[in-house]
Amino acid sequence: MNTIEQKDSWETIIEPKSSLLDLKINELVRYRDLLFLFVRRDLVAQYKQTILGPLWYVIQPLLTTLTYTLIFGNVAGLSTDGLPKILFYLSGITCWRYFSDSLTKTSDTFTKNAQVFGKVYFPRAVMPIATTITNLVTFGIQLCLFLIFLAYYRFSGQFEGTIQIEVLLFPALVFIMMLLGLGFGFVLSALTTKYRDLKFLVTFGVQLLMYGTPVIYPLSAIPAEYRVFILANPMTPIIESFRYMFLGTGNLDYSHLIYSAIFSVLLFVIGLAIFNKTEKNFMDTV
């Protein structure tokens, strides 16, 4: 009788996973304090002990935008669809950085946190989700920077475009990017536990993928016969839609956007299954 009462009073029950697609939402909610602790840690630690500190959240996209403006806009003379170069490149960089940071920073979840995972139990998905939320905060800061430049160009008369009503779909864009980055991160984090060479290829591959995305050029500048290959990239409709929503120039095609959404959901589900399977025995390979 005492044994039964003691069992009922236990607060933590560790159970084997029953499904590869089980995200264990209840556990994530229960460990929300730990989740936000990781988010705070990542935000504070990223630029800790640097001279400029959080200003780097703004300086980095600014320097990248100025470099692209100089190299691709002025030297190479690439089209910006009639938009001011600063606004064009900053809009692409803002979206791309959120996706690429979510992907690269979650791709080494198991190898980077092997010591922690081996000592204490908590839902392993907390780590990549915390990374994605941290990147969401960074994305918010850089979006504010973009809006400041947009307001400056608009009120100084250098740009006459207006924000479109479709901007109401912006949260959906962010959610698709989140699923996309997290899905790729889940898959790569599982693969890098066995194939360590991949971690060297991830950054290089993401850089190459950027050139296959309309970050430094508009989709309209691509010849029609090659456009299908660029549109196969699920980030293409997202960046084009972002530009259309905020700048009034770009291509917002709902069929392309639905393709990106379906691709992201499928990738997230597959990535989650691989992540959960790897979680069970990754300590044997890390």
Question: 74-97, pLDDT tens digit by residue?
Answer: 999 888 888 999 999 999 999 999
Question: For residue 1, what pLDDT is reported?
Answer: 47
Question: For residue 264, what pLDDT is reported?
Answer: 94
Closest CA to 22 of 212, 280, 282, 286: 280
Domains contained in the chain, number: 1
SS3 57: helix
| 17 part of a folded domain | no
The identity of residue 132, as a single letter, is: T
Q: What is the arithmetic mean of pLDDT over 94-104?
A: 91
| 207 part of a folded domain | yes
| 14 part of a folded domain | no
Q: What is the mean pLDDT of the chain?
A: 85
Q: What is the arithmetic mean of pLDDT over 107-129?
A: 79
| 235 part of a folded domain | yes
Q: Give the rounded distance of the alpha carbon of 118 from its chain centre.
A: 27
* Residue-range definition of the domain harbouring residue 248: 28-281
pLDDT at 217 > cutoff 60: yes
| 61 part of a folded domain | yes
| 6 part of a folded domain | no
- Point out the least confidently predicted range of 18-27, 148-157, 170-179, 231-240: 18-27
Question: For residue 215, what pLDDT is reported?
Answer: 92
| 137 part of a folded domain | yes
| 143 part of a folded domain | yes
DSSP 48: T
Using CB atoms within 10 Å of the CB of residue 113, give its burial: 0 to 12 exposed, 13 to 18 middle, 19+ buried: middle
- Averaging pLDDT over each range in 11-20, 33-42, 97-106, 252-261, which range is the top one? 252-261
